[in-house]
Structure 1
Amino acid sequence: MTAFNAPWWARNRHLQTLLPTWYKRNQQIPLEWEELTLSDGDFVDLAWHPTVQPPGEQQPLAIVFHGLEGSVHSPYAKCILPALAAQGWAVVLVHFRGCSGRSNRQWRSYHSGDSAFAGEVIDTLAERFSNSPLLLLGYSLGGNLLANYLADTPHSRVKGAALVSPPLDLAACSESIQRGFSRVYQHHLLSRMKRNLQRKIRQQQSAPLAPEQVAQWRNFWEFDQHYTAPAHGFAGADDYYQRCSGLGKLKHIAIPTLLLHSADDPFMDKRVIPQAHQLSAAVEYRLSDTGGHVGFVHGSLWRPRFWLEEAIPLWFSQQLQPANN
């Protein structure tokens, strides 16, 4: 796998972060939807990309987890799902609770360390694809979630995992995104989070919060302090960040894992970059100078290419080779 190097015209961190949205805004991909009932009575929606080949008994299954407030309509999903399906693999994107456009049934929703949720969905799909090698891919929050899952689940049928731009130090990222132009990203994401929570409040008769309270929150820490933490059993935002940050979990990962960061990621700072002693032998770490947050756009201005949709299928294919089994 060649290293990523941004072209001269796209070396700005914010341009890298925003370009996939501009280029992919009108792209439509074929999807087949499935509602998956969870053991606690809640549900999530799965979005399947039709494979280009008939299903085989040992056809690999790629399971994709999106980022904060993301979905199958996020630009990175529009890039990677067709690229994975083109390999002849079964491909599914798992929506977190409430992220598919429908509010989930319970007061809780999703968070960055919910390895139990990831495990339930992965186990369900693994049982269905009983003879298939499994591949896991997580973007941003979904990448940190998978870092938790992989550390908590050292023995599984997963052949390889890829984590793209994961916020491995949640407290650091909560601080970093409040600086400079990055506040624009926080405002965009936080506005969506607040709207979704206010909709949930109006749909539930005994919600412990009022829409007016939610409207007053101004940053991720306040959202996590007043909703994420109490709704998911944490003492507060700081407790949530400390217990769910993936940085300290990487040394416990035993499954071959590709970890991708860019040094100019506007959602983070250098505190998310792991040191060598924090990585297990199973983790292959790639840090590029440029790439933004889940950007990694190269090629020409008029014919851009998306490095992730080239690099990730290649790396997964290498893990599926007999020598890696």
Structure 2
Amino acid sequence: MTLPSGRDFRPPWPLTSGHIQTMLSSSGVRRTLLPRRAYRVLEGAEPATIDGGDGVRLTGAYTAQKTQAESRGLAVLFHGWEGSVDSTYVLQTGSRLLDDGWDVFRLNFRDHGDSHALNEALFHSCRVDEVVHAVGDIARRWPSRCVALAGFSLGGNFALRVALRAPATGIPLNYALAVCPIIDPGEGLFSLEETAPWFYQAYFMNKWRHSLRAKQAAFPHREYFELQELRQNLRGLTEALVLRHTDFGSLQAYLDGYSVAGRALADMQIPATILTARDDPVIPVDAFEKLELPNHVELDIATYGGHCGFIRGWDMTSFCDDYIAARFNALAGGSSPIA
């Protein structure tokens, strides 16, 4: 079986613009135009609270497939920063996998979705241990012959780090796929500030400030930030919260803490795929080209796609659905998920 490749994605103009791809990926326009089948994963979904270890609780939703006599496996999906289990790209991918016979679990990271009141401490991107523990809990509660993981943007970064740790922690993870993952957080932060158009930083900052206010409302006895800190730019607010709410001594130490750049993935033991786009305006492609990867970790750099877009046409469906489903299905069928 021939697996799809990033070079196969050739959208019509003006979807050849990385900015248009990126802006449409999470837009209300896309949610309106998507066909109803893109939301099928919501039908019969069971809300769940997941054990993150050390008293941490995370939320998510499980949907059992009904298209086949036997499930192909369990697909676990991670959203991006300030996304949720109900983000458009998560629903669309989950619905496609459900139609193909996969059971689907969509996981919220701490303080994402409506989970701000569950844990008193703030979310930050180095909280990988609780996500590893959560995936282990999911695999135990919904056992399957095959477990595959896919994540988008920051969720892609988490997916790669979970896959790196899975063998040592006994998680029965068979494969991981990361779409436009954050590779070098320091470089990504600089890109949003200095090279990406202003509205990307404005978009993320608006969502982050809203999330922080929701956290403060959930725990009014805590002082998570001061008003002048909340008014800072991305770098300033990140540094303030790192110094106030983490054990990292500097912003750079924190950013290094969740980097998967250089040789960080060289010891990956399970098969994995990294899909990104050369025209991604949020995550610079240079960091991908500097990765040192083992043979069973596939790097696929498409010409087009923007940041987590890969939108094929005006029905707003995504090439990612076919791409992820083909690799997951190959895995379930006993073939290699690596092209």
Q: Could you report, residue by residue, the CA deviation over 1:25-64 in whole angstroms, capped at 9, with x for unpaired residues?
A: 47654233122243333322112234233774x6410000
Report the Cα distance in structure 2 between the residues aligned to 1:149 and 1:185, rounded to whole angstroms: 27
2:23 is the counterpart of 1:18:
yes
Q: Could you report, residue by residue, the CA deviation over 1:144-202 in whole angstroms, capped at 9, with x for unpaired residues?
A: 11222222334542121100000101001101012355321221111221222123224
Q: Secondary structure at the match of 1:90?
A: strand
Q: Secondary structure at the match of 1:240?
A: helix
For 1:238, the equivalent position in structure 2 comes to: 252
For 2:319, the equivalent position in structure 1 comes to: 307
2:56 is the counterpart of 1:42:
yes
Sequence identity (%): 22
Shift of the alpha carbon at 1:268? 2.0
Q: Secondary structure at the match of 1:195?
A: helix
Q: Secondary structure at the match of 1:298?
A: coil
Instruction: Quickly say closer, same or farther: Cα 1:229–1:121, change in 2 above 3 A.
Output: farther
Instruction: Write the letter of the residue equivalent to 1:147.
Output: L
Using structure 1 for the length normalisation, give the TM-score.
0.89
Report the Cα distance in structure 1 between the residues aligned to 2:158 and 2:205, rounded to whole angstroms: 19
2:305 is the counterpart of 1:291:
yes
Counterparts in 2 of 1:130-279, with a 5 A limit?
Answer: 130-154=143-167, 156-179=171-194, 182-219=197-234, 221-228=235-242, 230-248=244-262, 249-275=264-290, 278-279=292-293
Report the Cα distance in structure 2 between the residues aligned to 1:55 and 1:274, rounded to whole angstroms: 42
Contact 2:186–2:255 (Cα < 8 Å) also in 1: yes
Report the Cα distance in structure 1 between the residues aligned to 2:60 and 2:333, rounded to whole angstroms: 28
Shift of the alpha carbon at 1:103? 1.2
2:20 is the counterpart of 1:5:
no
Contact 1:290–1:296 (Cα < 8 Å) also in 2: yes
Instruction: Quickly say closer, same or farther: Cα 1:55–1:124, change in 2 above 3 A.
Output: farther
Contact 1:169–1:271 (Cα < 8 Å) also in 2: no
Q: Secondary structure at the match of 1:272?
A: helix
Shift of the alpha carbon at 1:315? 0.9
Q: Could you report, residue by residue, the CA deviation over 1:58-92 in whole angstroms, capped at 9, with x for unpaired residues?
A: 64100001100001221211210100101111101
Q: Could you report, residue by residue, the CA deviation over 1:256-276 in whole angstroms, capped at 9, with x for unpaired residues?
A: 101011111111223322336
For 2:114, the equivalent position in structure 1 comes to: 101
Instruction: Quickly say closer, same or farther: Cα 1:323–1:271, change in 2 above 3 A.
Output: closer
Using structure 2 for the length normalisation, give the TM-score.
0.86
2:79 aligned to which of 37, 52, 66? 66
Report the Cα distance in structure 2 between the residues aligned to 1:230 and 1:274, rounded to whole angstroms: 34
Q: Secondary structure at the match of 2:55?
A: coil
Count of residues paired in the alignment = 320
Instruction: Quickly say closer, same or farther: Cα 1:236–1:206, change in 2 above 3 A.
Output: farther
RMSD: 2.4
Instruction: Write the letter of the residue equivalent to 1:320.
Output: A
Report the Cα distance in structure 2 between the residues aligned to 1:129 and 1:209, rounded to whole angstroms: 36
Report the Cα distance in structure 2 between the residues aligned to 1:180 and 1:323, rounded to whole angstroms: 41
Q: Structure 1 unaligned runs (5+)?
A: none
Q: Structure 2 unaligned runs (5+)?
A: none
Contact 1:24–1:78 (Cα < 8 Å) also in 2: no
Report the Cα distance in structure 1 between the residues aligned to 2:206 and 2:242, rounded to whole angstroms: 15
